[in-house]
Amino acid sequence: MSVTQTQRDETGHASGTKCWNCQAPSAGVHFCAACGKIQPLPTGTDYFAFFGWPEKLSLDSAQLESEFHKLSWKLHPDNFVRASEFERDLSLNRSSELNDAYRTLREPISRMEYLLLRRGLRKEGTTKQQAPPELLEEVFELNESLDELREARAEGGDLAALREPLDAAQKNFQEKLEEVDAELSQIGQEWDAALDAGADEAKQQALLARMNLALNRRSYIRNLVASVQKELADA
């Protein structure tokens, strides 16, 4: 591990829109069109914009990968071994940003989470763990079954009989997971259509709020399924 005192004022916070080398206008692009030098990364660059795309949720994964490879070829620190320290630093920052962007956009779920994070609906690394109201009753039943199973295991009771309601519950929640995935995909399409139609802020916010709720429900159900699977495997 090493500590660097990177010049964040220059690399991370490009205030001007001019090329640091030749002063030609060069806002937001990877390389200056005039002199070809790698450019600093503007603060808070959006991962979609990094690839030159709008904030749309439907992404062709083959196209994303091919763009990732193209940009990797240009931005990777391998290209800057003999460049100035300043340019080496720019390459390090830009290529790490490229990799972060690719990693985030590659999966549909993390792509949505990122959009919500950008739009202020989510905080980094937090997921709500409250049970969605419409699931309360089923979750309550499930927890009872799980308790009975744990109890029976501790006391050496009949496990086979107890597995049945759990198997059924797991199947039920697995179906719900598929439902919520379908719903998310539907909201995603609506979001993309709204962007294309130039929908106003209120419409966008409404869609994002629905997306956020669905994502929370998904994450909750997923954890539930995982814990039931674990209990069944242990039993």
Partner 1 sequence: MGRVVGIDLGTTFSLIAYLDPQTGAPKCIPGPYGSTLCPSVVSVDEDGKIIVGEPARALLLTKPERTIYSVKRLMGRGVADVQEELKIFPFRIDPAGRNVIRVSLGDKWFTPPEISAFILRELKSWAENYFKEPVDRAVITVPAYFNDAQRQATKDAGRIAGLDVLRLVNEPTAAALAYGLHKQKRGYVAVYDFGGGTFDISILKLVSTTEGDIYQVLSTNGDTHLGGDDIDNEMQRRVREKILQLFGVDLANRPEDIQRLRQILIAAKHALSAQDSVMLRFNVSGGKVFEELLTCAEFEKWIEPIVARTMAPVRMALADAKLTPSQMEEVVLVGGSTRIPFVRKTVGDYFGRAPHCELNPDEVVALGAAVQADILESGVKTMLLLDVTPLSLGIETMGGVVAKIIPRNSTIPASAQELFTTGVENQTGIDVHVLQGERELAKDCRSLAKFQLKVPPGPAGLARIEVKFLIDANGILQVSARDLRTNAEHTIEVQPSYGLSDEEVERMLEESIEFAEQDFSERQVIEARTEAETILAATEKTLAHPRASELATDERCAIDDSAAQLRAAMSGSDYKLMRERIDALNQATMHLAEILMNGALQTALEGKRLEDV
**Which has the closest alpha carbon to 211: 187, 182, 180?**
187
Q: Taking the complex as a whole, how short is the minimal distance between the CB of residue 172 and partner 1, in angstroms?
A: 27
Q: How far is the CB of 148 from partner 1 (least distance, A)?
A: 27
- Tell me how many degrees the CA angle 130-218-52 measures, rounded to the nearest 5: 120
Kindly tell me which of 96 and 223 has the beta carbon lying closer to partner 1: 96
* Relative orientation angle of helices 85-106 and 61-75, to the nearest 10 degrees: 170
Q: Does 202 bind partner 1 (CB under 8 A)?
A: no
* Among residues 2, 133, 158, 197, the one that binds partner 1 under rule CB under 8 A: 2
In whole angstroms, what is the distance from residue 210 CA to residue 216 CA? 10
The stretch among 30-38, 78-86, 202-210, 211-219 that binds partner 1 (CB under 8 A) is: 78-86
Query: In terms of CB distance, is 7 or 58 closer to partner 1?
Result: 7
Rg (CA), the chain: 24
Q: How many residues bind partner 1 (CB under 8 A)?
A: 32
Q: How far apart (Å, rounded) are the C-alpha atoms in residues 77 and 75?
A: 7
- By the 10 Å C-beta count (0-12 exposed, 13-18 middle, 19+ buried), 5 is classed as exposed
**Minimum distance, C-beta of residue 230 to partner 1, in the bound complex (Å):** 14
C-alpha of 22 from chain center = 36
Selected binder of partner 1 within 46, 100, 190, 192 (CB under 8 A): 100
Which residue type does 64 have? L
Residue 1 engages partner 1 in binding (rule: CB under 8 A)? yes
Count of alpha carbons within 13 Å of 156, Cβ hemisphere only?
A: 0
* Segment near partner 1 (CB under 8 A); pick from 97-105, 132-140, 166-174, 204-212: 97-105
Binding track, positions 20-59, relative to partner 1; x by CB under 8 A: ----------------------------------------
Positions touching partner 1 (CB under 8 A) are 1-9, 12-13, 66, 69-70, 72-73, 76-79, 81-82, 92-93, 95-97, 99-100, 102-103, 125
